[in-house]
Amino acid sequence: MWVIFLAAPKTQVECDYDGPAMKTQVPGPRSQELTKQLGEIQNVGAVNFFCNYNESRGNYLVDVDGNRMLDLYTQISSIPLGYNHPALIKLMAHPDNLSTIVNRPALGILPPGNFPEKLMESLLSVAPSGMTRVQTMACGSCSNENAYKAMFIWYRERGHNTPSAEDLSSCMVNQGPGCPDLSILSFMGGFHGRTLGCLATTHSKAIHKVDVPSLDWPIAPFPKLKYPLEEFARENAQEEARCLEEAEDQIVKWRHKGKPVAGIVIEPIQAEGGDNHASPEFFKSLRNIARKHGCAFHVDEVQTGGGCTGKFWAHEHWGMDDPGDIVSFSKKLLTGGFYHKNELQPYRIFNTWMGDPSKNLFLTEVLNVIRTENLLEEVTRSGKALLNGLYELQVRVFASRGQGTFCAIDVCDDATRTSIILKARNKGVVLGGCGDRSIRFRPALVFKEYHVHLFLNIFNDVLAQHK
Amino acid sequence: MWVIFLAAPKTQVECDYDGPAMKTQVPGPRSQELTKQLGEIQNVGAVNFFCNYNESRGNYLVDVDGNRMLDLYTQISSIPLGYNHPALIKLMAHPDNLSTIVNRPALGILPPGNFPEKLMESLLSVAPSGMTRVQTMACGSCSNENAYKAMFIWYRERGHNTPSAEDLSSCMVNQGPGCPDLSILSFMGGFHGRTLGCLATTHSKAIHKVDVPSLDWPIAPFPKLKYPLEEFARENAQEEARCLEEAEDQIVKWRHKGKPVAGIVIEPIQAEGGDNHASPEFFKSLRNIARKHGCAFHVDEVQTGGGCTGKFWAHEHWGMDDPGDIVSFSKKLLTGGFYHKNELQPYRIFNTWMGDPSKNLFLTEVLNVIRTENLLEEVTRSGKALLNGLYELQVRVFASRGQGTFCAIDVCDDATRTSIILKARNKGVVLGGCGDRSIRFRPALVFKEYHVHLFLNIFNDVLAQHK
């Protein structure tokens, strides 16, 4: 209907700059002015600086003061191909896509004609093993909230498929038996979102949870492993065994309390909680515990999914045919949502938008680029270089760990971390923290070995200056 | 950076068709085929038919079988200017906007340089009385979830600003005092979303709530008024007084139970629950009850906001300078979010995306069109014609009611309603239901008197045939 001619961007050949370039301290004067302006409208306690997304490109984030920084944080791990990837810009030239962006449908009742095809091309083409069904959602929290509901409904429907009259009347006033006392088992240090249901399973920082009512649901310890994993194999195995035993105990205990565990939710690597890893054996055993006790197994890949670990899903590193009953996603996938097994028919999972098909369009293109540019291999290669480089810094940092470019280190305390992150930023590198005293690395999938070395040089200087 | 040339759409002068045009029954063969395809991927229990959004225009929704229907449902009331409004298409030609659509930022930490300005032009330009602050969110449920959290945090911070060590440790395991036993008072028949926190305040249909764990929070009756309101003024006033008394009783009762009410949430017109109205006096009294008991007052305008009642916010019909402490929105506003008073500083309200600035862009343009085309006046005019027309049908329908074009009728039962909606669709009119036996009318803001008469003629035929 409409035709758009897209003039080639001046720098289309180069989709990346050749290095950081700093003009001011960050935040610079313009950022500070804008922070003051925005402070009149909303809380700006978490604002780092203001960005010029028009000028940002590839691995480089440009701010409103003209500073150009190598970005190893990528909007909390949510920019898959770096900034302004030409393939995504080009996509907007197709007239069908224009109308998809302008007219947001209520996907659950009136999907666009190309919706099944677009789901096949995008989300279904990277479906986790054993999962053929997917439901999109607007964000990560909504994805997990609705995944929990799918697990509750599944758990109840095994017993009786049709709710009784008493179920229907009692649920209207939030009471049982209609609203059952079911629970979700989560792990200390886990992060699954900050809406009320998700928050009851989030245990990464007190400041996320304090003052908000919660649900009496079981919490198991997540293994606290020593790194490098290979060097502490025996101790780590013991720690994992302890945590598995405790998880199983919790399931039994909550069943006796009359609040049976309908599902277990876990991240393949606890991200917000401090980049805590566990072995494939741990996850295999936990999956078996879920099966044994009739609980659904929900793998939350909101932060780990999308290729940053060198595989599209972090759970692929477990090498299992049947890794879970539900896998949720968001961030780098651009749309939120969850995959699920056939048995967990999410009947009654519904809201107005149910996602946003314009995000599916972009995801299709992201997946094409990942394939044609072999980005998973690139991530594996860059990740190795990054981790090796971090090992070499071990004199000043601790517990270097990672999978692909999804890496982290610990420093001695929170104050040191803040100081390092701010110093790095003023030298043109954007980093983020996680856990109590970790720095996490979350570059885009287009972060090459060249960028790794650029980063390591600057980071080495920061650490040297910092002593 | 990029330049886009936008060729004029063939029908740019005419942004609307001249009437419905039906080729098949709905769903037609192509829709049926696509439903089967999508059924392999996700639950299609709620899918009506598949749409061709490319060909849809103004008040007309075109399906994949080439049927063109007058749309009085607008994607569950979420399309403000009809389909493919030229102003929205044109907006995508600006290169800055391109990069806003392609690079979704983490707004809470790295907002784009134009974010304060865009918020001023869009959301702040229509801020409810007494509210100068706004927080965007990805959808309606997230908006309400986070608004509830803002009320809980506000309620607690009055007592002690710094959480104690015990608060911080107990909240990590979902227990008090860190996770306090606070509650939100909601109303029977209300709808505020379907994530766990929202769902505890939603009481419109059992099927939304059954099988999902909930919170023991107080619920007050919403007035069941008789229509037309003017004819039953005395009885309606008595009914409202009864509900107010009960609401206040619940607040006292829950305080005694040790679960004080931090906030009251209510819709200006209960939409999903069956288009239930209440008088400005009812809302004024309830606002006073909230003040008296130290509860925050949250007006949920997710469905009523955006101009469809003839004012931008439905609560403007109450004529109050201080209508509430929080007003949440989504749907026709294109972005979710909530306004709040200064006192409710939503510190600690945070997630990765915090909304989507590309939606703010479209909202700015929607507001421009509303102003330049005097759409609120048009809605008032069309609404009067619509309601008058519905009154004339009173022989066959009941309780015609509405504000602006936000109108509804009752029919004798659910089966009759389904039959009427399907018959209307096959005659080229898209309608939706709400409550037990209501049909709601939710046309776009560009629904003119001409469209009202077109609709009434068809609807009259449907009802006549239906007898």
Reported ipTM: the value is 0.95
Q: Which residues of B309-325 are buried (b: 16+ CB within 10 A; e: fewer)?
A: bbbbbbbbbbebeebbb
Cβ-defined contact of A75 to B105 (cutoff 8 Å): yes
Residue A14: predicted pLDDT: 54
Q: What is the CATH number of domain A97-371?
A: 3.40.640.10
HSE (side-chain half, CA atoms, 13 Å) at A244 = 19
How many CB atoms are closer than 10 A to CB A160? 9
Closest by Cα among B320, B316, B336 to B328: B336
Residue with tokens 């909303």: A42
- H-state helical runs in B342-448: 357-372, 375-392, 414-426
In chain B, what residues touch A353 (CB-CB under 8 Å)? 78, 139
User: Exposure pattern of B135-150 as b/e (b: 16+ CB <10 Å)?
Assistant: bbbbbbbbbbbbbbbb
Cβ(B144)–Cβ(B186) below 8 Å: no
pLDDT at A188 over 90: yes
Strands of the A398-403 sheet, one edge to the other: A398-403, A406-410, A438-441, A432-434
Q: What angle do CA A188, A192, A197 make, to 5 degrees?
A: 100
Average pLDDT over residues A372-390: 97
pLDDT at residue B160, rounded to an integer: 58
In the numeric block, which tokens belong to residue A336?
A: 């939120």
At residue A467 the predicted structure's pLDDT band, cuts being 50, 70 and 90, is low
pLDDT (0 to 100) of residue A158: 61
B159 C-beta neighbours (distance < 10 Å), count:
6
Taking CA atoms, what residue in A is nearest to B215? A174
In a mutational test of the B interface, the residue from A38, A123, A145, A146 whose CB has the highest number of chain B CBs within 10 Å is: A145
pLDDT at A347 over 50: yes
Structure-model confidence comparison of residues A343 and B31, the more confident one:
B31
CATH number of B29-74+374-464: 3.90.1150.10
Question: Are A102 and B88 within 8 A, CB to CB?
Answer: yes
**Which residues of chain A form CATH 3.90.1150.10?**
29-74+374-464
Q: What are A257's strand-pairing partners?
A: none
Tokens coding A349: 């999972």
**Distance between start and end Cα atoms, chain B:** 62
pLDDT of residue B467: 64
Residues of A in contact with B75 (CB under 8 A): 104-106, 109-110, 352
Say yes or no to pLDDT of A20 above 70. Answer: yes
H or E, element range at A337: strand A336-340
Q: Which residues contact A459 (CB under 8 A, 6 or more apart)?
A: A393, A424, A429
- Has residue A8 got a pLDDT over 60? no
Whether A106 sits inside 8 A of B45 (CB atoms) is: no
Residues of A whose CB is below 8 A from B148: 196
Structure tokens at B23: 């080729």
B314 touches B304 (CB < 8 A):
yes
Average pLDDT of the residues of chain A = 94
Length of chain A: 467
Instruction: Give the pair of three-digit tokens for residue A338.
Output: 């969850």
Residue B356 sits at φ, ψ, to 5 deg, of -155, 110
Identify the closest residue of chain A to B303 by CA–CA distance. A352
How far is Cα of residue A366 from the mean position of the Cα atoms in its chain? 16
pLDDT tens, chain B, 467 aa long: 333 333 333 333 357 899 999 999 999 999 999 999 999 999 999 999 999 999 999 999 999 999 999 999 999 999 999 999 999 999 887 777 888 899 999 999 999 999 999 999 999 999 999 999 999 999 999 999 999 999 999 998 865 578 999 999 999 999 999 999 999 999 999 999 999 999 999 999 999 999 999 999 999 999 999 999 989 999 999 999 999 999 999 999 999 999 999 999 999 999 999 999 999 999 999 999 999 999 999 999 999 999 999 999 999 999 999 999 999 999 999 999 999 999 887 778 999 999 999 999 999 999 999 999 999 999 999 999 999 999 998 778 899 999 999 999 999 999 999 999 999 999 999 999 999 999 999 999 999 999 999 999 999 999 998 76
Give the per-residue pLDDT at B54.
Answer: 94
Average pLDDT over residues A243-265: 98
> Of all residues in chain A, what percent carry a pLDDT higher than 90?
89
Asked whether the beta carbons of A266 and A286 are under 8 A apart, the reply is: yes
Q: Which of A7, A48, A194 sits opposite B3 (nearest CB)?
A: A7
> Tell me, what's the pLDDT at A160?
58
Of B33, B59, B160, B171, which to mutate for an interface test with A (greatest number of A Cβ within 10 Å)? Answer: B171
A16 confidence band (pLDDT: 50, 70, 90): confident
Sign of CA dihedral B129, B131, B132, B133: negative
Q: What is the pTM of this model?
A: 0.96
The predicted model gives A252-279 an average pLDDT of: 98
Q: According to the model, what pLDDT value does residue A396 have? A: 81
Of B103, B174, B348, Cβ closest to residue A207 = B348
Q: Residue B445: which of B308, B300, B265 has the closest Cα?
A: B308
Contact A202, B174 (CB under 8 A): no
pLDDT tier, A3 (very low <50, low <70, confident <90, very high otherwise): very low
What's the DSSP call for residue B115? H
Q: Which two tokens stand for residue A337?
A: 């949502």
CATH 3.40.640.10 in chain A, residues? 97-371
CA–CA separation, B212 and B198 (whole Å): 12
Among B54, B431, B49, B149, which Cα is nearest to A211's? Answer: B149
Write the CB contacts of B412 (distance below 8 Å, at least 6 apart in sequence).
Answer: B398, B437
Contacts of B362 in chain A (CB under 8 A): 102
Where residue A393 falls among pLDDT bands split at 50, 70, 90? confident
Task: Return the amino acid letter for A90.
Answer: K
The pLDDT of residue B285? 98
The one-letter amino acid at A29: P
The pLDDT score that the predictor gives to residue B347 is 75
Of A109, A148, A351, the CB nearest to B139: A351
* Distance, first Cα to last Cα, chain A: 62
CB nearest B34 (choices: A96, A116, A195)? A116
Residue numbers in B near A217 (CB within 8 A): 174
- Write down the pLDDT at residue A9: 38
Q: Are A229 and A277 in contact (CB under 8 A)?
A: yes
What is the rounded CA–CA span in Å between residue A309 and residue B197? 33
Buried b / exposed e over A136-154, threshold 16 CB at 10 Å, is bbbbbbbbbbbbbbbbbbb
Give the burial class of A256: count Cβ atoms within 10 A of its Cβ; 0-12 exposed, 13-18 middle, 19 or more buried.
exposed
